[in-house]
Amino acid sequence: FARSTYHRIEEEKMAVVIQHLTGEACGDYFYPALAGVVQSYNFYPIGYMKPEDGIAHIALGLGKTVVEGGTSLRFSPKYPQFLPQFSTVDDILKNAQRFLYALKLTDFPENLSIGEDPTLARLAVDDFHDNACVQAISSTYYPQEHRIRDGAQSGGFPVVTFANILKYQAFPLPEILSDILEIGRRGMGCPGEIEFAMNLAAGQKPEFDLLQIRPMAVARQKLEIEILAEDIERAFCYSTMALGNGEVTDIADIVFVNPATFEAARTIDIAGEVGRLNKQLEVQKRKYLLIGPGRWGSADRWLGIPVKWNDISGVRAMVETATEALRADPSQGSHFFHNITSLDISYLTTAANGTDFIDWDWLLAQPTEAATTYLRHIRLAKPLTIKIDGKHSQAVIVA
């Protein structure tokens, strides 16, 4: 490199920053009670959330869990007790964190030229429930009652829920994150992203450490999506209740519930047909757009199609439509919220508000690739364009 650029090696300088690592020792390992990332924009706001309320992800142990997409708890600093992925006991047991990353205090390599991973250990949370900082963020599951009680208690199984902080406000983490996001926005003049960590050592005051603040790590073209009037005119679907952000241009398959044959009493049968078609498309490695009435994944079959996640695991984008037969409040993806957010699945709702629409005539006029009693599968010659403006929760689908 030096020869090709005519730089003189003796004139090259590089800064080395040594930063204090937040955490405490626990046996042969060192880790914080929690670490996380918070961003100025939430592109999957549901219920009364707004995109500008921001979104945080936290996990027990080093922040590698969050940064690399491991199991973490997602919450809005403005509504810290609103946790869709913890809606039921079964949801909590399925989505609670099971592993953490910690720094090795013994048996680590002296040579760091091979990277930092050999100095870290991936550990089972169950092995550290006696640690005071883990107990401070845990609840207890009692299988005999199928109930979770807040706090670390005897006679049950510990589960990491962060209830002591988010529900009982033992430490004002949500307020601190909101304040720092606002300070960062004013200072940088753009949406921000913060990395942070906390210590919750027994007998000591909780400690919050700000590790890094930077402009939000989303490509500019992905963040700034604008939906124009001409986009709406060309679209066969328009939604003012959309989750996600960016453009999707890699799917040409559409699976939809045929409005001509739909029967509200047959939603269980429809779910079975969706699952079988999903398997076929997964074998072909083809992502698809799924369109149907009511709430996808509803436990009440009279409110929507009661699919499970494995029935729709190959989906890339989803649309909930309003019909006379199924008048249900939009689910906004709450039944599969963890999967939708972690896989960056676009989720649209076409409400009966006079503004949103879906052009069924156009869909029904397309050549059929496959059909079942209640479903149609069409494959377009060119991929769709799905544009989602996450700041304003708007979306269009253009063929």
Q: Is residue 102 part of a domain?
A: yes
Instruction: Look at the block and give the residue holding tokens 């500008």.
Output: 52
Q: Is residue 121 part of a domain?
A: yes
Shortest CA distance to 73 belongs to which of 90, 53, 98? 98
CA distance 12 to 92: 52
User: Is pLDDT above 90 for 129?
Assistant: no
For the chain, what's the residue count? 399
**Do residues 148 and 161 touch, judged by C-beta distance below 8 A?**
yes
The domain boundary, picked from 174, 195, 215, lies at 215
The phi and psi torsions of 87 (rounded to 5 degrees) equal -70, -35
Query: What is the model's pLDDT at position 277?
Result: 97
Same-domain check for residues 53 and 176: yes
User: Is pLDDT above 70 for 332?
Assistant: no
Number of H helices, E strands in the chain: 11, 24
The phi and psi torsions of 139 (rounded to 5 degrees) equal -115, 180
Sign of CA dihedral 257, 335, 340, 236: positive
Same-domain check for residues 31 and 172: yes
Query: What is the model's pLDDT at position 381?
Result: 94
Same-domain check for residues 66 and 31: yes
Same-domain check for residues 103 and 211: yes
Same-domain check for residues 169 and 252: no
Rounded mean pLDDT, 137-155: 93
Same-domain check for residues 255 and 288: yes
Tens digits of residue pLDDT in 22-63: 999 988 999 999 999 999 988 888 878 888 899 999 999 999
Q: Is residue 14 part of a domain?
A: no
Q: pLDDT: is 29 or 115 the higher one? A: 29
Highest mean pLDDT among 189-203, 209-223, 319-333: 189-203
Tens digits of residue pLDDT in 63-72: 999 988 889 9
**Average pLDDT for the chain:** 88
Identify the three-state secondary structure at position 99.
strand
Neighbours of 365 (CB within 10 A): 9
Determine whether 295 is exposed, middle or buried from the number of CB atoms within 10 Å of its CB (0-12, 13-18, 19+). Answer: buried
User: Is pLDDT above 90 for 144?
Assistant: yes
Same-domain check for residues 287 and 319: yes
Q: pLDDT: is 14 or 254 the higher one? A: 254
**Do residues 58 and 70 touch, judged by C-beta distance below 8 A?**
no
Shortest CA distance to 384 belongs to which of 291, 274, 247, 292? 247
Query: What is the model's pLDDT at position 75?
Result: 95
Query: What is the model's pLDDT at position 6?
Result: 57
Same-domain check for residues 92 and 47: yes
The domain boundary, picked from 215, 241, 258, lies at 215
User: Is pLDDT above 60 for 80?
Assistant: yes
CA distance 26 to 123: 12
**Which DSSP helix (H) or strand (E) runs through 224?**
none
The model's confidence at residue 221, banded by pLDDT at 50, 70 and 90, is very low
Q: Is residue 201 part of a domain?
A: yes
Tens digits of residue pLDDT in 360-391: 999 999 999 999 999 999 999 999 999 999 88
Q: What angle do CA 257, 262, 263 make, to 5 degrees?
A: 140
Measure CA of the first residue to CA of the last residue in the chain; give whole Å: 47
Same-domain check for residues 289 and 370: yes
Q: Is residue 16 part of a domain?
A: no
The model's confidence at residue 219, banded by pLDDT at 50, 70 and 90, is very low
Q: Is residue 363 part of a domain?
A: yes
Range of the domain at 39: 21-215
Sign of CA dihedral 318, 322, 324, 327: positive
Same-domain check for residues 259 and 195: no
**Do residues 335 and 296 touch, judged by C-beta distance below 8 A?**
yes
The model's confidence at residue 334, banded by pLDDT at 50, 70 and 90, is low
The domain boundary, picked from 215, 244, 264, lies at 215
Query: What is the model's pLDDT at position 154?
Result: 86
Domain count for the chain, please give it: 2
Q: Is residue 382 part of a domain?
A: yes
Q: Is residue 346 part of a domain?
A: yes
Same-domain check for residues 247 and 336: yes
Same-domain check for residues 123 and 186: yes
User: Is pLDDT above 60 for 269?
Assistant: yes
